[in-house]
Amino acid sequence: MLFFKDLDLHNKRVFLRVDFNVPLDENGNITDDTRIKAVLPTLNHLSNHKAQVIIGSHLGRPKGKKDSKLSLKPVAQMLSSMLPQKITLAPDCIGKQVSQLKSHQKKQDIILLENLRFHPEEKQNDDEFARELAEDIDYYVNDAFAACHRSHASIVAITQFVKKAAAGFVVRQEMDYFQRIIEAPQRPYIAILGGAKVSDKIPVLKNLIKKADAILIGGAMSYTFFKAMKFEVGRSLVEEDKKDLSLELLKKAEDKGVKVFLPSDHVIAKEMKPGAEYKNITRFPIPNEYMGLDIGPETIKKYSKFINNAKTVFWNGPMGVFEIKEFSQGTAQIAKAVASSDTLSIVGGGDSVSALKKTGLEKKISHISTGGGASLELIANETLPGIKVLSEDI
Ligand code: AMP
C-alpha cells in the first residue's frame, strides 16, 4: 500500500477522498467536527509540499440527486475557519464549471467538490464518472477509511485514471493497527461483539473463529444464539432466520477450539424505555413479557477478567441498550475494562465508541477506528475494496 508521504507532491494535482459525512442538526449545523479535524494532517502535508488539492466527499444519502440539505456548504465554511488556505466549494463534483474552477485554481487554494452522491454513478462505481472526477488529476489520496468498504467510483474506479493512488494519514494509521491484529495478533486475542443483529456480524464471526482465542458476545445478538439453543428468551430481540446459522457458527468455533461466551446473567425489563423497572436474572427462562436488554454483573465480571488477561482486544457493538441509562452498565463497564487493560485494544463502530467516550477513557484505547462498517469488513475479509486498489509501495 503506497503512502502519500512517499510521493513527490510538488506541483502535482491531488484528488483527496475524505469522509466529511458529518452529523448535521435540523438547521444544517455540524454537531461533531471529528471527521473534519481527522484529515487536517493530510491536508496540511499536501499544502506544505505544494500540491494542488481537490477534495471529494459524500454526505448522507441523497439518493443520486441534488439535495440542498446535503450540500457540503457547512463543511466548506468550517474548513475555511480551520485552515489559512482559500476553500472554494464547487457547484458540483464533475462538469464544465468544475473544469473551469480547476483551470483557475491558484496553487495554494483548495477546491472542495460538492457531494459526490448527488450523482447515482458514484455508488455504481461508474468508470465514466470516475474518469471525469480524475480529470487533470495526477495523484489520488484516500483518507476516507470509513468509506473504504464501499466499491464506489471515488473509492475504487477513480484509481484507474490516475498516475498513483496512495493512502493518507488516516487510512495509513487505521491499516497499521488492523494489520497488527489481522497478521500476527499477540495472544490471547479476545474479540468482543455486541449490538442488535447477528446478521451484520456473520462474516466477522466467521473470520474471528479462525483467528481469535475467545469471542465474548453481548447485546441483542446473544438472544438469537440462546433461542437457537432452545432457551426461552421472552420478547428479547431474535433473528428467527439466523438461528440455524448461529448453531453452525458455534459448532465451527468448537471444532476450531475457539471459545465463544454468551452472557450468563441478564438485565431484563418489560419495556425498553428510560425509567422502566428492571431486574437481573441468572438463569432462563426470561418470562414471556420480559426482554433481555443488557448483560448482568456476573457477565461483566467474567468478560472483564478475560479482557484483563488478553494481549489483543477487538471490540465492536454495545452489550445492551446503552442509550438508556438503566441498560447502559454492561457497555460502560466493558468500555472501562478495555480502557484499563494493558493490551493492544482496537474499538470500532459508532456505538462502542460513544460508550467509550462517555467513560472519558477513550485516550487509553490503542486505536479507535473511524469506520464501524469498514472495520468489521476489514476483520472479516482482511482487506477492503478501497485498499486493494491503492498502488504498490515504491
Ligand atoms: P448494531 O448497530 O448492530 O451494533 O446495534 C446497536 C444497537 O443495538 C444499539 O442501538 C443498542 O441499543 C441495540 N441493542 C443492544 N443490545 C440490545 C438488546 N439486548 N435489545 C435490544 N437492542 C439492543
Is the beta carbon of 239 within 6 A of some atom in ligand 1?
Answer: no
Is the beta carbon of 237 within 6 A of some atom in ligand 1?
Answer: yes
Ligand 1 centre and the CA of 53: distance in Å?
A: 40
pTM: 0.92
Q: Would you name the residues annotated as active-site residues? A: 35, 197, 350, 373
pLDDT tens-digit series, residues 283-316? 999 999 999 999 999 999 999 999 999 999 999 9
CA distances from 175 to 39, 143, 160, 168, 184 (A): 15, 11, 22, 11, 13
Q: DSSP of 83-119, one letter per residue? A: -SS-EEE-SSSSSHHHHHHHHH--TT-EEEPP-GGGS
Ligand 1 centre and the CA of 68: distance in Å?
A: 32
Ligand 1 centre and the CA of 351: distance in Å?
A: 9
| Domains 4-172 and 185-380 agree in fold | yes
Task: Give domain limits for the chain.
Answer: 4-172, 185-380
pLDDT attached to residue 77: 97
Ligand 1 centre and the CA of 220: distance in Å?
A: 6
pLDDT attached to residue 306: 97
Is the beta carbon of 196 within 6 A of some atom in ligand 1?
Answer: yes
Q: Are 299 and 264 in contact (CB under 8 A)?
A: yes
Q: Which atom of ligand 1 sits closest to the CA of residue 194?
A: 4
- 23: cell is 452529523
Residues across the chain: 394
CATH number, domain 4-172: 3.40.50.1260
* Phi–psi pair at 268, nearest 5 degrees: -120, 155
Which residues in the chain show pLDDT less than 70? none
Residues 6+ away with beta carbon under 8 Å from 71: 59, 89, 114, 115
**Distance, CA of 12 to CA of 88 (rounded, Å):** 18
CATH number, domain 185-380: 3.40.50.1260
Give, using CA atoms, the residue closest to atom 6 of ligand 1. 195
pLDDT tens-digit series, residues 169-210? 999 999 999 999 999 999 999 999 999 989 989 999 999 999
Q: Which atom of ligand 1 sits closest to the CA of residue 293?
A: 19
